[in-house]
Structure 1
């Protein structure tokens, strides 16, 4: 039987990488600014800038044609001072070690900002799930858990869905872990099917969190959702649900993008039609004759621009061309630090990802609590507690904006970093007092 090894040429050193290619550099640059503003010794920055653990695995998968393909996967555990690490698993052809490490750091900040008893983690597999059958996806999912099973668990590291993974994939991973560990612990993984101990409201949690943050921004910016023109770049789980929620509240969704292209209509797009006809990966642009690129869509006129797909899409190359009043980062790392600084000068508010899209990890925490208690909440209770927690975090960040005179992204880093550093200091790992 032949073995095909999936290889990917990519740059792995930080030297020579631009910011779009180096999300880890983006994370580290703002982290450094936050530790400086907090007057922490350099050791705090050097400890927090990288994961405490990083695992690289090879996953042999029997393909439907009888051959075996070896996929490369990763798991980063950024910091476990506050509790077990927590973070999603993404299946994507462009996964890199730097991206996974950065995502784990952002997860630590999200947990710190929202006062969750976790540190951050993230996993990824280099693959294109659109080219895999259901059986191949299941074998890949189970193989990944076999490869990392020694490093994860309900009190160690708790995975969840991320880009191109879903509740069914979490169900397969839960089953594999239970077989390996001979346990029935549903709290090993979150975002799983309801029948396996999932939480009501988890699938829509990230979108609901973005919505709640947008409502707070509207209060601050004197905007009304009714009649607001919104562009959403990305129509996967987060983007599609968010589009439906905003449409139902009277907003005009004037632009939508997916992996194939983008559509724009200043008078508004029929979102219910797109929801009924999108494929499993959120592709809808193929239904339209007149489309544009994702890059072109970002520069169209709107009130609110919501990047909800991939990182590094708003840079110094296009920041001056944006025509919106605010940017809300529903994706991870969609706007570079330099681009945010340019948007600040133009009076365009940027709500950072570590706040705006943290609804997913908040409700994952709720799911973990329900699993531990064996008592499950109503969807109304989940949404109520999500709104309370993410709204409180918004207000805490705005207080830091006023205190330090910084933008929301730096303020969010200050809040998240402070909790991580204080927990690490209390454990005796680092000293944050001069």
Structure 2
């Protein structure tokens, strides 16, 4: 969406919002001028939007959306995903650096290391100080990858937070995450087809009719043919079975494939367009510096040991990632940089995080949904085990519920309860 289209949509919808740009620094450091690769510090424009709340006295909330590599304006704004979220509160949304209306990396791939969660948190601090004041405190909320950013923010700037809330992300080994994403997905698909057996016939028929000429994506990164079917994997983490069934019922016999492609094209393109930025941020922040090939190989080996072969399944997130065709020179160069270990990892330091929560009297709520195949509950449980040794039960709370990856939006009363407790502490 062009910025002119964005402004026109705001005008037509009559949203009660303010938006603008703040200036930030590539290095999150005003004094440093150049790095070891010859990259020069430069100013970055970071786009933000404030959705005004019904309660003028309510605290501000900074909202970190999922991704990585997907902007607020590219997903949540496009689908009104922001307008009815916690309506009593003032919510600040931002296009994380590298996405949406915020500035992008240059052509030098070594610059991408400055677009990870550490630097997104620095931008958020610049927003807080510019829009509120130096001594202000706000609620830090994140969903999916945004939950990782919440932890990084509290590790770095917990003195600026009233509390943190993460939904749909767990700090765990990448192997735990990947293996259980597939296992939960496969279990959900089995349950779904037991409940709606006719829908399985629909999907099989669609897959049979997907040919190499069917393509989603762009000239640099795309999926084609039967590989497109795997985009639907994400629906099982995002929607209830009933919602999925309603979607499938809308596919008629004559235009079944066309309607399926129309249904998944937006989500598929969102995934494909996150591209190099997604790969670098994941490599540095989330997967312990493993390459995609290394992670997929280990995951498949472990699944096979458990008697699970992804090629026997109708939908698979690992297979989706493996079958993306990347013709971009950047991706070829990026693989070489990964192989040479050019990017240092920057995981959450749980010991520092726990100490900061205690020092600044800040609560972190981590919410895991048992029906979420995009962040399996095993990931949250592993994080819970990791932090037990730091004796922070009063500051690091884990909540397990029965929802899915979208429960952050559907169960807002739970979130409101946490915020009210922080507001009056």
Relative to the length of structure 2, the TM-score reads 0.38
Instruction: Return the structure number with greater helix share.
Output: 2
